[in-house]
Amino acid sequence: MTTPTNTTNTTSSTSTTTTTTTSTTTSPSTSSHPPSSTSVSTLDLHNLTYLTPTDDNLQCPICHSPLLDPVTTNCRHTFCAPCIASSLEHSASCPVDRKPLTPDGVSPAPIMVASLVNDLLVLCPNAELGCPTTCARYLLAGHLRDACGFVEVKCSGCDDLVLRKDAAEEDCMHQVLECAYCFESFRRIDMEVHESHCPQILAECPYCTTEQTRATITAHTAACPSAPTLCPASTIGCPWAGARRDLPAHTSLCAFTLLRPVLAAHTARLETLELENRALRKKIDILLPPGRDDDGPVYDDQTIQLLTEQEHLRGDVERLSASLGEMEIKQSMLLMNETLRTKEEMAGMRAAINGMRMQIHWLLTARLQRAGPGPGERAEAGAGSVRRVTEGGAAGSQGVQGDRVKL
């Protein structure tokens, strides 16, 4: 049977066993704010954590949570009273079988159904704050109202809110007090948290048993004369270990310490030789590929020389390929520059031809105006001039186009 342990508005089907599960609902601990206290006025019965598996028949088909104030319809389906009321406001039909349904067709469910859901065990909604109480659902409101120590109530000394477990104190929990170590001011309710990490509280060094403040205990421990330490030459075999105060006397007599610079130089030399050896081994693998059996043929000097020449030729070919690539790039750049220069020259020639055409047109117009013929002849001459100008313009355009073609 699928059991929803987190009774929010979405269906949870993660529990398939009958063991007790205690998964919380929305986890406020993952946010940056501490979880807020829940009281009777803010209690949300749809957002509870049930400790026992819930039967599917006791869940509302709308909110998929255990029934709250269960009611039954004429078509024998059971819902939460608020859920079915909200559904009927939007649609006058049953949410399960879509039969016509009105508020008059809804009646209270049998007492047995209400008793079954009210007897389900739930976790106190203030469990994240520390309340360990578990009780039946119908007892939860009374627990929050009278017994839960993590419900916010008015402080006995002021009007601020404080948890019920802290309100039992005779002094006001919001009273401002001064820390006896760092002399900073904090509320009484926050003083315990502050004292747990106050940097001025004294702490004992684990090596020399002297008292240091928490702010300086780390630096003191790193330099404490009584702290155990190893010889600097322990990496090369010195077995000495003792207090830090005895280290100078030991290093002055330790033979490993005297040999340490020499061994360090030899180690650096060995690392350099290993790198050279790896480079030479790669070259040998190129000349003499691995995988050859011991009984296989042995390359003579002439074959080795040929393989060496082959490697030289391969390097020359790679250099030539790189040079050809560079030449292709340079040639492309030169061709692009020459094309741009040619386009600029063609644009200049087009502009000059257009200017000459405008000057010829102006000269023809001025000559016709100076001729001055009679009215009739003037009209004919004007028409002829217009025709000649038009023909001349067309011929000029054709000539320009021919020039463009030639260019």
Looking up tokens 């005895």 gives 246
Q: What is the pLDDT of residues 390-400, one digit of tens each?
A: 555 555 545 44
182, 200 in Cβ contact below 8 A?
Answer: yes
**Architecture of the domain whose range is 28-164:** 2-Layer Sandwich (3.30)
Give, in order, the Cα–Cα distances in Å from 270 to each of 6, 61, 106, 275.
Answer: 65, 77, 91, 9
Which is higher by pLDDT, 401 or 355?
A: 355
> Mean pLDDT, the chain, as a whole number?
78
65 burial type by CB count under 10 A (0-12 exposed, 13-18 middle, 19+ buried): buried
The count of residues in the chain is: 407
Looking up tokens 């690392």 gives 271
As a whole number, mean pLDDT of residues 252-278 equals 87
> Looking at beta carbons, which pairs linking 157-164 to residues 24 or more positions away fall under 8 Å?
162/189, 163/37, 163/129
As a whole number, mean pLDDT of residues 214-220 equals 86
pLDDT(242) > 80: yes
Under the banding of pLDDT at 50, 70 and 90, the label for residue 371 is confident
Q: Taking the domains of the chain in order of start, what are their residue ranges?
A: 28-164, 231-294
Q: What is the pLDDT of residues 279-316, one digit of tens each?
A: 888 877 776 665 555 555 556 677 777 878 888 888 88
State the pLDDT at residue 358. Answer: 93
State the pLDDT at residue 202. Answer: 85
Give, in order, the Cα–Cα distances in Å from 185 to each of 110, 142, 269.
Answer: 60, 38, 62
* CA angle centred on 351, ends 346 and 352, rounded to 5°: 100
